[in-house]
Amino acid sequence: MLSLMGCQQNGGGDESRHDRNSIPTLVGEHLYACEDGTQLDGDFLVDGLTLDLAILPDQKPIRLTAPDTGLTYVGDKLNVSLTGVDTLKLVRADQKPLICRRTRTISKQGRLHPP
């Protein structure tokens, strides 16, 4: 379960948190800052219907999937909707929705990533 508690800061200067060779299906990595100060790392995988989402700097990612392009990504007690080019909305069963804005995109060379 992804819990969004407190303010997390990304202290690293890396452009990417991942070794591209170890995650060959990674298309793009989007970093988000939420209205409560939480920072997220969203990894979109090659099918565009899979999202690995983690709180920075070190929480283990949770995998979410969408049934089709443009629909909500669903995980264990967490739904994520892309509500615009640079915005996502987290909806958790036991908390109010949280809006997060994209701060940076890191894409795999030669590949496009979901908006």
Token duo for residue 104: 């940076």
pLDDT tens digits along 96-111: 999 999 998 765 444 3
For residue 59, what is the DSSP state?
P
pLDDT tens digits along 3-15: 443 333 333 444 4
Assess contact for 87 and 96: CB atoms under 8 A: no
Q: Is residue 83 part of a domain?
A: yes
Q: Tell whether the model's pLDDT for residue 31 goes beyond 60.
A: yes
Q: Is residue 71 part of a domain?
A: yes
Q: Is residue 114 part of a domain?
A: no
Domain that holds residue 36: 24-101
Token duo for residue 35: 């209205």
pLDDT tens digits along 59-84: 999 999 999 999 999 999 999 999 88
3-state SS, one letter per residue, for 20-37:
CCCCCCEEEEEEEEECCC
**Predicted local distance difference test score (pLDDT) of residue 22:** 59
pLDDT tens digits along 38-61: 999 999 998 889 999 999 988 999
Task: List the CATH number of the domain containing 43.
Answer: 2.40.128.50
Please state, in angstroms and as integers, the Cα–Cα distance from residue 21 to each residue in 42, 104, 111, following that order. Answer: 18, 21, 15
The model carries a pTM of 0.73
